[in-house]
Amino acid sequence: MNKNMRVSNLARHAYTQAYANYLRSGDLEEATRQVAQEIYERRGGAPGSAEGDWREAERVTREWPETITEASKAHLFDKALSKTRTWLKDVEEELDYGNPNEAYRALRAVLHAIRDRLPVHECAEFASQMPVLIMGMYYSGWSPIGKPEKMRNLDEFLDRVAAELPQGSDPLRVTHGIIRVLERHISPGEMSDVRRSFPEHLRALWEEAARSRR
């Protein structure tokens, strides 16, 4: 994938939560406001202005009404919701959870740890195969600055996972379970790219996940 396609992919997915909100409400101005706020937050201390952030947000959201008709909004959202429920049900069954809230927290914890260890372009390519609602959760709180983050050993990766799990959870067991779920929903080629983006001392997570399969 060339650089321009990677940049386009990132632009398409970086504001997924705002797009999901737009699908629900049809309020493009509010969605643009959300994107402008994200642009401001990601800009941090870099030069810029509120006016410039708003213009960039308008550029991002301008094509949205042209790519989705009124008649298809509800259908696409229902489809995204159905896919999300399928993923969460799979997590529930894989980890023997009793409700989708536990599944959501486990999926979020592992996806955020994986996300922060990926280069920016691979982060976007990985996200492109997720249901739009999970994609929004995946990008929540993310910034491309300083990515990929260094995780010097497996314990540091698992500490990152554990930080978003209920106290007493086993982050290694959860990580293995989520990896198995991801491998059922993400293409083998993309999962292979994700593994290759990890340093060798973390790639063992995938082999261990296969060995510990129930």
Please say whether the beta carbons of 205 and 155 come within 8 A. no
Q: How much is the average pLDDT of 182-210? A: 91
Segment 31-49, tens digit of pLDDT = 888 888 888 888 777 888 8
**Measured CA distances, 103 to 14, 44, 89, 107, 196 (Å):** 23, 33, 8, 6, 26
**Confidence band, pLDDT 50/70/90 cuts, at residue 3:** very low
Give Cα 195 distance to the centre of its chain.
16
Q: How much is the average pLDDT of 103-119? A: 96
Q: What is the predicted pLDDT for the residue at 141?
A: 87
Question: In whole angstroms, what is the distance from residue 14 CA to residue 71 CA?
Answer: 25
Stretch(es) of the chain classified as CATH 1.10.490.110: 71-214
Single-letter code of the amino acid located at 165: L
Question: In whole angstroms, what is the distance from residue 42 CA to residue 34 CA?
Answer: 12
Better-predicted residue by pLDDT, 75 or 176: 176
Q: What is the pTM of this model?
A: 0.69
Segment 85-95, tens digit of pLDDT = 999 999 999 99
Segment 130-180, tens digit of pLDDT = 988 898 899 888 888 889 999 989 999 999 999 999 999 999 999 999 999
Q: What is the predicted pLDDT for the residue at 6?
A: 44
Question: Before 171, cis peptide (omega within 30)?
Answer: no
Question: In whole angstroms, what is the distance from residue 17 CA to residue 132 CA?
Answer: 8
Three-class SS state of 5: helix
Question: In whole angstroms, what is the distance from residue 193 CA to residue 38 CA?
Answer: 28
Q: What is the predicted pLDDT for the residue at 73?
A: 59
Three-class SS state of 15: coil
Q: What is the predicted pLDDT for the residue at 82?
A: 87
Tokens in use for 95?
A: 């980890």
Q: What is the predicted pLDDT for the residue at 9?
A: 46
Q: Which of 3.40.50.620, 2.60.40.420, 1.10.10.10, 1.10.490.110 is the CATH number of 71-214? A: 1.10.490.110
Better-predicted residue by pLDDT, 74 or 53: 53
**Confidence band, pLDDT 50/70/90 cuts, at residue 116:** very high
Three-class SS state of 140: coil
Question: In whole angstroms, what is the distance from residue 88 CA to residue 54 CA?
Answer: 35
Question: In whole angstroms, what is the distance from residue 137 CA to residue 127 CA?
Answer: 10
Question: In whole angstroms, what is the distance from residue 143 CA to residue 161 CA?
Answer: 18
Single-letter code of the amino acid located at 171: P
- Judge whether residue 109 has pLDDT over 60: yes
Q: How much is the average pLDDT of 76-92? A: 86
- Judge whether residue 192 has pLDDT over 90: yes
